[in-house]
Amino acid sequence: MEQLLHPTILIISAIVLMFVAFALLTFGFVPEEVEEDEIYGYRLTKRKRLLQEDGLYALTLPLIKIFAHYFRMIPESDNFIERIRKKLRDQLPRSGYMGAFTPNEFLGACCTTALGIFFSIILLTTLASNTPNIPIALIVGAGGLYFPFLNLRGAITERLIEIDRRLPYTIDLLVLSMRAGLDFMTALDRVVTRGQEQNPDDPMIQELGVVLQEMRVGTPKADALLNLCERVDSDYLNSMVGAIIQSEKRGSPLARVLEIQVDTIRNKRTQKIEKQASQAAVKILMPLMFIFGAVVVVVMGAMILKVKNQGG
């Protein structure tokens, strides 16, 4: 009986009961049918795959949808939440739809992350000192609201790097198809179709698929390619699209123009890698100086102590 009344066990039980009470309170305010944002295409496919492969994602998604339901109720006027949603509408596609979230669901993920961090800090401080440190939990939990935004920024950067890496190979396939006698749209269709079969998560194939869809619904080729440049902030892609538009105006063979652009992109990437490699020696010099200083301090300290002990 005394073991069951141990302060640590009582505190942990209280935290668990608080969490259960909060969950019941949250679900109590939710209507029977939670209104959700419509998702389709690659985002829907990605969500189904994440639900099958990621247990934590499947466990937290219902709570994320609950928070998203209330964010959806905030009117689309000039307010802070709407400005964030507008920014997320641009950033989520650039990240490859991180978590397959809509803007409202992403904000719900921020709240869910903050809530999870809050209860984790409460539990850790309770186990460490038998007393929950609520102020620290509130501060760290509030900081957890920004963690998904950090992940989003990293996902955008990684996706841009992957697009730059995959661009020459994808254009090579496009040029081979055009050399075989296909026009640009048919060659693009073949490259996108095969790319989706081999690797549906390839960001370059995803972006070209959007270009293909826009062209099919009547968008001019130049406008579809310019929209691609707006979605993907890549210098290599901008130069390639500019060359394609100029070749259309001048009547130059598009396959030849693309071949020149691919060679130019590869040369630029090689020069960039060589420049980074040359800067690596300079960047590593400062950490080496600190390591050398630490080694000198350890060696000299040991020698001084040895001499002092011998003299004593």
Tell me the pLDDT tens digit for each residue of 93-107: 888 888 888 888 899
What's the one-letter identity of residue 47? R
d(CA 127, CA 163): 46
Confidence of residue 149 (pLDDT cuts 50, 70, 90): very high
Residue 87, pLDDT above cutoff 80: yes
Confidence of residue 228 (pLDDT cuts 50, 70, 90): confident
What's the one-letter identity of residue 103? P
The residues spanned by each domain of the chain are 4-30+39-160, 163-268
Residue 162, pLDDT above cutoff 80: yes
Burial 277-300, CB ≥16 within 10 A → b, else e: eeeeeeeeeeeeeeeeeeeeeeee
H helices present in the chain, as ranges: 7-28, 42-53, 55-72, 80-94, 103-129, 134-143, 147-179, 184-198, 203-216, 221-231, 235-250, 254-283, 285-311
- Provide the pLDDT for residue 110: 92
Residue 35, pLDDT above cutoff 70: no
DSSP 146: G
Residues 171-193: tens digit of each pLDDT:
888 888 888 888 888 888 898 88
- Provide the pLDDT for residue 25: 57
- Provide the pLDDT for residue 2: 46
For the chain, the average pLDDT equals 80
d(CA 220, CA 40): 24
- Provide the pLDDT for residue 20: 64
Confidence of residue 32 (pLDDT cuts 50, 70, 90): very low
Reduced to 3 states, what is the DSSP secondary structure of residue 181?
Answer: coil
Confidence of residue 30 (pLDDT cuts 50, 70, 90): low
Identify the CATH number of the domain defined by range 163-268. Answer: 1.20.81
